[in-house]
């Protein structure tokens, strides 16, 4: 094994952008032959320095990577825009097995990519809706905001924003700091109807709903019964979320979350408790209370009992949209919950959470946040989620921080989780003031 050590001197104020670029490096490098794993870390004494340790099976693998893949990934990530200089050292192993790669990280990235494939139909849907709405012609002559589009064409401003964000990860539109959106060169060439190369008709042809139904109907040709178009099954969904945690997401959360001084965790919409279980196992001082819907209770009871944690984790029936919290805690976790809610609802939910925190307590929000940098697997999935749940929020981390602050908190920590299965960011916040009740 060989290790390439890169000491990155990040430009002051560019750490967040650099970490987005580093995630792109990580995701693409992990697919190259001979890649073993990597570690990205930071010393608290050097806030503008990021240390990257990249492990390869052999020097030949590293050389092949440098010759074949390095420049392509560098151009994609645009990391150079965010650092002043880098120092590179190649380390030879002098004790066999002295370094073991962090396989959980690449497990998470691989599970995330597989989940992304299962959501690929959203890409077709976004493209079809955009073409039907004539978005590319609308943006052909002048840039527009989502509000301009809603005014001109009707519909909800937020839905237009969701559509534009989905089209951005397809590299068909781009926006500026004033929220003005325009076509990319690709869209101008292939999606504007005045172009002789316009692919509009082929897109409408290929994405016909009857074609999509036909694709799923293929199953009958290999002897399966007709697919069920009915509503999703709650137990299946909770089992899917639990499998996401098991595929590396729980480990990543545990390495990012800070539970020092926390003895009671309230896990809102905690499902069958995959994160409460992992966090209680890792933190012997911790007890957790899961708040969830009635249909979740028996499933969660079973999972908690199987984990042998019924003495430390309770599940309480609660509708987080409607009433004050039934329990108080030192930390309140919203994991993969808030993006399904509207912006106003989030503010109300968080305002109630604030009153349920013990003195010195904190709010923790982890979710799949929209990313505005270069496309990554998680950026694709976050943007496409807007197509899945139009009234739900499709927030960037900064936008979520704004809502958290409006609900009466100070944001104290904001980090990206990388790689990830589905949660790409974590925000911690403390109440501006803790009231006994409001
Ligand atoms: C996307 S899952 C997230 C589960 C888990 N926190 C995770 O990160 O894997 C959303 C959870 O919120 C619960 N939920 C949905 N609406 C709710 C409501 N109004 N009140 C309480 N829980 C709710 C669902 O039952 C589900 O367990």
Set out the domains of the chain in order of their start, with CATH numbers: 2-93 (3.30.70.100), 121-219 (1.10.10.10), 236-376+392-431 (3.40.50.150)
CA 172 to chain centre: 21
Atom of ligand 1 nearest to the CA of 274: 9
Instruction: Tell which atom from ligand 1 comes closest to the C-alpha of 340.
Output: 1
Answer whether 335 contacts ligand 1 (Cβ < 6 A). yes
pLDDT over 90 at 56, yes or no: no
168: which residues sit within 8 A by CB, 6+ positions away? Answer: 174, 175, 372, 383
CB of 269 shorter than 6 A to ligand 1: yes
pLDDT on residue 418: 76
Window from 13-17, 24-28, 408-412 with minimum mean pLDDT: 24-28
**Angle, helix 377-388 to helix 157-169, in steps of 10 degrees:** 150
Asked whether the beta carbons of 207 and 124 are under 8 A apart, the reply is yes
Ligand 1 atom, smallest distance to 334 CA: 6
pLDDT of residue 37: 84
pTM: 0.78
Compute the distance from residue 340 Cα to the ligand 1 centre, in Å.
9
Highest-confidence segment of 98-102, 108-112, 362-366:
362-366
Average pLDDT over residues 413-426: 88
Decide if pLDDT at 105 tops 50: no
- The pLDDT of residue 229: 67
- Pocket test of ligand 1: the residue of 323, 327, 337 to mutate, having most ligand atoms within 8 Å of its CB, is 337
Check residue 108 and give its pLDDT.
87
- Per residue in 150-182, pLDDT tens? 999 999 999 999 999 999 999 999 999 999 999
pLDDT, residue 96, reads 61
Ligand 1 contact via 272 beta carbon (within 6 Å): no
295: confidence class by pLDDT, cuts 50, 70, 90: very high
Strand 49-56 versus strand 83-92 pairing type: unpaired
pLDDT higher than threshold 90 for residue 237: yes
Region 299-314: what's the mean pLDDT? 97
The count of other CB atoms within 10 Å of the CB of residue 303 is 23
Q: What distance in angstroms lies between residue 20's CA and the mean position of ligand 1's atoms?
A: 28
Q: If you measure from the C-alpha of residue 282 to the centroid of ligand 1, how many angstroms do you get, rounded to a whole number?
A: 23
pLDDT at 412: 95
Evaluate if residue 100 carries a pLDDT over 80: no
């Amino acid at each position: 094994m060989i290790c390439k050590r890169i000491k990155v001197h990040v430009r002051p104020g560019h750490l967040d952008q650099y970490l987005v670029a580093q995630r792109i490096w990580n995701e693409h490098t992990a697919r190259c032959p001979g890649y073993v794993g990597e570690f990205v870390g930071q010393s608290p004494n050097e806030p503008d320095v990021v240390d990257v340790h990249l492990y390869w099976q052999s020097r030949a693998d590293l050389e092949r990577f440098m010759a074949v893949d390095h420049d392509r990934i560098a151009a994609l990530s645009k990391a150079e825009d965010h650092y002043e200089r880098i120092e590179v050292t190649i380390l030879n192993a002098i004790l066999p097995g002295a370094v073991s790669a962090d396989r959980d990280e690449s497990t998470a990235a691989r599970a995330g990519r597989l989940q992304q494939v299962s959501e690929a139909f959203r890409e077709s849907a976004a493209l079809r809706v955009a073409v039907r709405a004539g978005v590319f012609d609308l943006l052909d002559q002048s840039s527009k905001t989502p509000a301009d589009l809603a005014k001109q064409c009707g519909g909800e401003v937020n839905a237009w924003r969701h559509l534009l964000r989905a089209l951005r990860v397809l590299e068909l539109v781009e926006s500026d700091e004033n929220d003005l959106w325009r076509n990319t060169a690709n869209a101008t060439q292939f999606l504007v109807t005045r172009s002789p190369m316009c692919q509009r008709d082929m897109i409408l042809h290929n994405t016909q709903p009857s074609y999509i139904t036909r694709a799923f109907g293929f199953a009958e040709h290999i002897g399966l019964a007709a697919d069920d178009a009915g509503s999703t099954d709650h137990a299946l969904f909770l089992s899917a979320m639990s499998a996401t945690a098991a595929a590396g997401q729980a480990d990543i959360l545990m390495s990012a979350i800070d539970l020092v001084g926390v003895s009671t965790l309230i896990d809102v919409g905690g499902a069958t408790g995959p994160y409460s279980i992992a966090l209680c196992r890792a933190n012997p001082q911790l007890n957790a209370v899961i708040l969830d819907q009635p249909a979740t209770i028996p499933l969660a009871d079973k999972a908690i009992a199987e984990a042998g944690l019924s003495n430390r984790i309770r599940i309480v029936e609660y509708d987080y949209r409607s009433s004050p919290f039934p329990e108080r805690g030192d930390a309140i976790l919203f994991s993969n919950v808030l993006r399904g809610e509207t912006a106003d609802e989030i503010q109300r939910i968080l305002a109630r959470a604030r009153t349920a925190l013990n003195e010195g307590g904190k709010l923790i929000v982890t979710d799949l946040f929209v990313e505005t940098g270069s496309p990554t697997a998680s950026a694709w999935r976050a943007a496409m989620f807007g197509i899945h749940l139009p009234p739900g929020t499709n927030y960037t981390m900064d936008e979520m921080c704004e809502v958290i602050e409006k609900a009466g908190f100070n944001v104290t920590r904001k980090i990206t989780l990388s790689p990830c299965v589905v949660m790409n960011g974590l925000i911690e916040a403390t109440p501006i003031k803790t009231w006994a009740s409001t």
